[in-house]
């Protein structure tokens, strides 16, 4: 087998890197499917932040080679939630808990063509612990899929319509205002909003335009809608289309998170200044 | 050589990921044994926490493919402590400083069959620094072992009985009380105790039972002994058998560390409520 | 292709590991050059700390197998700074922004033999975002180089003399005093100074000697110039030659950063006590 044909497994979790959770998942995969190339998308999702994980998975998967994409943010591990493997319209496979974590990526990948419940998969590691399904269910099943086991054999068929789907708050246009929500903040303090490329074009915002950002009822900040950080002076607020083609707010050489003091789900109104 | 036959080297250190220590170890291994697959168990051990590293190594190695398992938590680097490579009863190889870090994993892996002192190994990188033996001794020797050099050739034989062994505080049963110690806390604030599966059965604790947790002399907390987080309501304390089959304390959707305020080695008494 | 011949790409960035930036770069490389082995030198450079990145790159690259070495610390992403690929005297290839980040490593690797501007490379990912050139320019170009595309084909030739070069503060000897600067602090609180091996020998410092460390005008600390941590008692300050053969200050089983309260670029005077 040439490296060109190596199967790819990607991992995205809220496990962090201080413990051995991620390392153990790698070891389990390497034991079952030694040919697999493992790519860590990130393990820095905030604990139990299903939506943050779902958004990151949706944004990152298109840049991954096609393969088996495992995501684990699982506050209800050990309870009755399903564990699932999904085959998408674009033939990628997703593996993770049935709590909405996988559904934004599934939609972006052509929708769910086939779903199986893997909670009692024959490929689980025994004894299955009540608290570490990453080790005992998700990665062993993913490794079998990567090594060629058909999805129909790793679990029981289930109806995609019965899965848990995630709802995003949703942006809207009100007169000349764009009403959006903070959905993610990155390491640099850049705040991602829930307004995609097409909506952005529909909003009528023009490059170079000065805008007002209102958070809640009182606080108003001046910003400029530009292409990139360097288009404003250091310390100035900018609104821009980020690398995922979503609208975002940043401070050149600074932190929009600190400047605005927003928290996830805060509503922002953007109007011409 | 097919990927299936690739040698495996695992790494566990207190180097953290902010510096280039881990990256340099990867580079050294890739230069000596390009076929090796490297698995990072974790680099998040607290600085100089030999016991935390020893416990993690013992828990993680059974989930790794057999190979060369390097561990480095080395407060006395450059002093007279030995550097060692060990062959275990199960044929795994361990490499690291002789300060107890390797001995719990060695015991779990069938005991030490062969030990060599690698401090002056012919496979060291020259000049050997006084402070970065991960780069200059441990990983170059591990890479040679992974590529097939026999352990007898990487150092001088030494007597396993003369190595430094680690002592754990040790749990005990006093009447209807189980007396245990906090030995590890993970990212989620779950507190691992030093009570294994067999002792747990001997303790007479029954699933579903309510228990009292006493820390030190005064503080008493109510908890329930259950299978998993979801068996108690959010915010409630639970005692459970964790993924390593050790007794542990957690708060469903919360942090037992914050709730109890324990520190490592604190003694806890668990009694029926 | 045997693993022995696998091309190597190393990555060093200020992206951190909480977001998906690094994972996406891995995915892009794996998609273009599946044979590449990727080594993460570190992603823990402080945000926008070009010099910290440049020093780490210079120190780490000699321990990496020869390959394509990508570094990204890029406060002016999207502005008019060049994006460059460099071929060095030792045949290594460097890829990153033209802001000085690559130049210390280039000098240590035999100097720049060939330079190309890759900002408009035919191998960019389209559409190129204004803010994530790691994904859209640096790693796709690096992956093509790793897979054998000649450097002359990934961009437009540019004159090495016109690139941005980094200046270090520079140490000096004044009478019996060595005047140095804090240039880096590692996870353990060890403070690296800008005095290399040859200067150190010229300074006349002798192993075992007691010295005074003066920071700024008043504060003076006693330390000993020794080979390693264990040569002083726990809690004592030491001056030593670190694993990069640079002079450094540490506290045995403690933190020199906390003890001295230095910040990067602080001047220290070291004199015999």
pLDDT tens figures, B20-76 = 999 999 999 999 999 999 999 999 999 999 999 999 999 999 999 999 999 999 998
Q: Which two tokens stand for residue C36?
A: 């590449």
Which residue in chain C is spatially nearest to B25 when comparing CA positions?
C63
Element (H, E) at A27: helix A21-32
The residues that bridge with C220 in the sheet, in sequence order, are: C214
Helices and strands, counts by H and E, chain A: 7, 15
The residues that bridge with B207 in the sheet, in sequence order, are: none
d(CA A95, CA A180): 30
Residues in chain B: 273
Contact criterion met (CB below 8 Å) for A83 and A137: yes
Q: What is the pLDDT of residue C67?
A: 98
Instruction: Please give the distance of CA A43 from its chain centroid, rounded to a whole number.
Output: 11
Tell me the DSSP string of A87-123: EETTS-EEEEESSSTTHHHHHHTT-EEEEEE-TT-TT
Q: What is the pLDDT of residue C5?
A: 77
d(CA C164, CA A200): 37
B100 confidence band (pLDDT: 50, 70, 90): very high
Q: What is the pLDDT of residue C268?
A: 94
Q: What are phi and psi of C100, to 5 degrees?
A: 100, -15
Q: What is the pLDDT of residue B216?
A: 77
Q: Which of A41-45, A177-181, B245-249 has the highest mean pLDDT?
A: A41-45
Q: Is B264 helix (H, G, I), strand (E, B) or coil?
A: coil
Rounded to the nearest angstrom, the minimum Cα separation between A23 and chain B is: 4
Residue B243 has, within 13 A of its CA and on its CB side, a CA count of 24
Chain position carrying tokens 């939630």:
A81
Q: How far apart are the first and last CA of chain B?
A: 60
Q: How far apart are the first and last CA of chain A?
A: 60
Contact criterion met (CB below 8 Å) for C195 and B28: no
% residues pLDDT > 90 (chain B): 81
% residues pLDDT > 70 (chain B): 99
Residue C218 pLDDT more than 80?
A: no
Nearest to C1 among A2, A41, A228 (CB): A2
Q: What is the mean pLDDT of residues C159-180?
A: 91
Q: What is the mean pLDDT of residues A107-129?
A: 96
Q: Compute CA distances C104 → C110, C137, C166, whole Å.
A: 10, 22, 7
d(CA C96, CA C134): 8
Mean pLDDT of chain B: 93
Contact criterion met (CB below 8 Å) for B68 and B141: no
d(CA C68, CA C63): 13
| ipTM of predicted assembly, 2 dp | 0.93
d(CA C56, CA B11): 21
Which residue in chain B is spatially nearest to A127 when comparing CA positions?
B243
Q: Is B228 on the interface with A (CB under 8 A)?
A: yes
Q: Compute CA distances B8 → A31, A142, B33, C30, C83, whole Å.
A: 10, 20, 10, 21, 37
Element (H, E) at A58: helix A50-60
d(CA C238, CA C183): 17
Higher pLDDT, C77 or C89: C89
Q: What is the mean pLDDT of residues C96-111?
A: 97
d(CA C94, CA C87): 7
Contact flag B187-A27 (C-beta cutoff 8 Å) = no
Rounded to the nearest angstrom, the minimum Cα separation between A12 and chain C is: 9
Which residue in chain A is spatially nearest to B245 when comparing CA positions?
A129
B 48-87 residues with CB < 8 A to A: 56, 59-60, 63-65
d(CA C257, CA C59): 21
Residue B117 pLDDT more than 50?
A: yes
d(CA B203, CA B225): 12
Mean pLDDT of chain C: 93
Give contacts of B17 with chain C, Cβ < 8 Å: 17, 42-44
A242 confidence band (pLDDT: 50, 70, 90): very high
C139-146 and C21-32 helices cross at what angle (nearest 10)?
30
Taking only the tens place, the pLDDT of each residue in C41-68 is 999 999 999 999 999 999 999 999 999 9
Q: What is the pLDDT of residue A219?
A: 84
Considering only A17-21, B15-19, C36-40, C164-168, which range has the smallest mean pLDDT?
C164-168
Residue B2 pLDDT more than 50?
A: no
Contacts of B150 (CB under 8 A, 6+ apart): none
Q: Is A67 exposed, middle or buried (0-12, 13-18, 19+ CB in 10 A)?
A: buried
Q: Is B46 on the interface with C (CB under 8 A)?
A: no
Residue C2 pLDDT more than 60?
A: no
d(CA A58, CA A70): 12
Residue C199 pLDDT more than 90?
A: no
Predicted TM-score (pTM) of the model is 0.94
Rounded to the nearest angstrom, the minimum Cα separation between C19 and chain A is: 6
Alpha helices in chain C (DSSP H): 21-32, 50-60, 103-108, 133, 139-146, 197-202, 256-260
C 241-270 residues with CB < 8 A to B: 241-243, 245, 253
Contact flag C6-B34 (C-beta cutoff 8 Å) = yes
Q: Is the peptide bond before A127 cis (omega within 30 degrees of 0)?
A: yes
Element (H, E) at B28: helix B21-32
Q: Minimal CA–CA distance to A152: which of A95, A87, A80, A91? A: A87
Q: Is the peptide bond before A172 cis (omega within 30 degrees of 0)?
A: no
Taking only the tens place, the pLDDT of each residue in A157-201 is 999 999 999 988 889 988 889 999 999 999 899 999 999 888 888
Using alpha carbons only, what angle is made at residue C251 by residues C246 and C252, rounded to the nearest 5 degrees? 105
Give contacts of C37 with chain B, Cβ < 8 Å: 30, 34
Task: Write down which chains contact chain B via at least 3 CB pairs under 8 A.
Answer: A, C
d(CA B44, CA A19): 6
Nearest to A39 among C18, C30, C35 (CB): C30
Contact criterion met (CB below 8 Å) for C252 and C236: yes
Rounded to the nearest angstrom, the minimum Cα separation between B228 and chain A is: 6
Q: What is the mean pLDDT of residues A89-104?
A: 97
Q: What is the pLDDT of residue C168?
A: 85
Q: Is B85 helix (H, G, I), strand (E, B) or coil?
A: strand
Task: Write down which chains contact chain C via at least 3 CB pairs under 8 A.
Answer: A, B
Q: Checking phi first, is residue B21 left (phi over 0); if not, alpha (psi -120 to 50) or beta? A: alpha
Q: What is the mean pLDDT of residues B235-242?
A: 94
Contact criterion met (CB below 8 Å) for B1 and B35: yes
Chain position carrying tokens 């890479």:
B143
d(CA B42, CA B20): 15
Q: What is the pLDDT of residue A2?
A: 46
């Amino acid at each position: 087998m040439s490296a060109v044909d190596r199967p790819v497994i990607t991992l995205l979790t809220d496990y962090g890197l201080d413990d051995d959770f991620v390392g153990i998942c790698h070891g389990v995969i390497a034991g079952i499917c030694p040919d697999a190339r493992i790519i860590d998308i990130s393990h820095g999702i905030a604990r139990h932040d299903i939506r943050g994980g779902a958004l990151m998975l949706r944004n990152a998967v298109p840049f991954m080679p096609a393969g088996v994409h495992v995501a684990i943010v699982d506050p209800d591990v050990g309870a009755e939630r399903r564990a699932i493997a999904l085959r998408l319209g674009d033939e990628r496979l997703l593996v993770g808990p049935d709590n909405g974590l996988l559904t934004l990526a599934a939609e972006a990948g052509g929708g769910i063509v086939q779903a199986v419940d893997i909670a009692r998969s024959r490929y689980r590691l025994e004894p299955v612990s009540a608290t570490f399904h990453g080790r005992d269910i998700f990665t062993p099943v993913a490794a079998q899929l990567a090594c060629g086991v058909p999805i129909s054999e790793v679990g029981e068929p289930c109806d995609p319509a019965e899965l848990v789907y995630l709802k995003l708050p949703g942006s809207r246009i009100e007169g000349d205002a764009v009403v959006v929500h903070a959905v993610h903040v990155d390491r640099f303090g850049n705040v991602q909003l829930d307004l995609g490329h097409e909506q952005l074009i529909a909003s009528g915002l023009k490059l170079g335009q000065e805008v007002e950002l209102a958070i809640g009822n009182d606080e108003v900040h001046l910003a400029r809608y530009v292409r990139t950080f360097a288009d404003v002076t250091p310390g100035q607020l900018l609104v821009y289309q980020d690398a995922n083609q979503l609208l975002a707010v940043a401070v050149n050489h600074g932190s929009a998170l600190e400047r605005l003091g927003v928290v996830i789900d805060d509503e922002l109104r953007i109007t011409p200044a």
